[in-house]
Amino acid sequence: MIYIDLDEICEREDLILHLSFPKRSIEYASRILDDLRSIGVESIAFIEAGGRLEPLTLGKGYRGLVLRGRLGGWDAALKILRTDSTIPSLRGEAEATSMANRVGVGPKVLGFTDMVLALELIEGMPLDKWLDMLEEDRLSELKIVMRVCFEDARRLDILGLDHGELSDVKKHVIVRPGLKPVIIDFGKASFMRRPSNVTSLLNYFLFGPYSWKIKRMLGIEKPPLENARNYKIKLSDECFKRLMESLNLLEG
């Protein structure tokens, strides 16, 4: 992996065209490059593949292409609006992530325009893979990760921001070293829906692909559906505490 400065990328058509995806357009790529410059991006990571240099791609979605880069000394995830995106701008995602940042949730927003979004790079393991590899005698580790996930989801509920995709977290929670999970990808987040972050996470943990393992480790025979319903209705601190207690996740 090498980092190439934006000035060099600008001078090489074989490199700059990677910024226009999936349709290759010099005009579009140049607009992306200008936007990256405007928010302070210094360089983009490339790897050699088949004798050619290609950007180190962290992800591809229906709305954007995510590359690795550097900005102000930070390793950054650079989300670039696709040429065929179904949305006109990444500004909504940027603003939702910024609001989540205010309550200590999500990757830090480093800069954005309508066409690009630079975020703190979160490196670690997707939650589903982490759960798959977790040994069943590591109960304390499971409790720490689940507790942090639920506490962050609770902060979003209080904020009134619904993430929208936490019932399937395989691409939306990354567990960093030190048992530090981070909720990512606020592309479908909204203040217009009633928030259901805690209950969506609960649905994944107790009914998802690793529910059998989680319930066995936590000693849960029946999902606490009544407590979940009460929390969904009231969204209160007391109901959240009871839900965590029923999951055996309260500290001490």
- Cβ partners under 8 Å of residue 21, min gap 6: 60, 65, 80, 82, 83
Predicted local distance difference test score (pLDDT) of residue 252: 47
Predicted local distance difference test score (pLDDT) of residue 61: 86
Output helix, strand, coil percentages for the chain, rounded to the nearest 5.
45, 25, 35
Tokens of 29: 């790529």
SS3 39: coil
CA–CA separation, 122 and 101 (whole Å): 14
Q: Name the CA dihedral angle for 29, 33, 35, 36, rounded to a multiple of 10 degrees.
A: 130
DSSP state of 194: P
Q: Which amino acid is at 158?
A: I
CA–CA separation, 70 and 68 (whole Å): 7
Is pTM, for the whole model, over 0.85?
Answer: yes
SS3 143: helix
CA–CA separation, 116 and 37 (whole Å): 10
Tens of pLDDT along the chain (252 residues)?
Answer: 999 999 999 999 999 999 999 999 999 999 999 999 999 999 999 999 888 999 999 999 889 999 999 998 889 999 999 999 999 999 999 999 999 999 999 999 999 999 999 999 999 999 999 999 999 999 999 999 999 999 999 999 999 999 999 998 888 999 999 999 999 999 999 999 999 999 999 999 999 999 999 999 999 999 999 999 999 999 999 999 999 999 999 874
Instruction: Please work out, in degrees rounded to the nearest 5, the angle formed at the alpha carbon of residue 18 by the alpha carbons of 189 and 70.
Output: 65
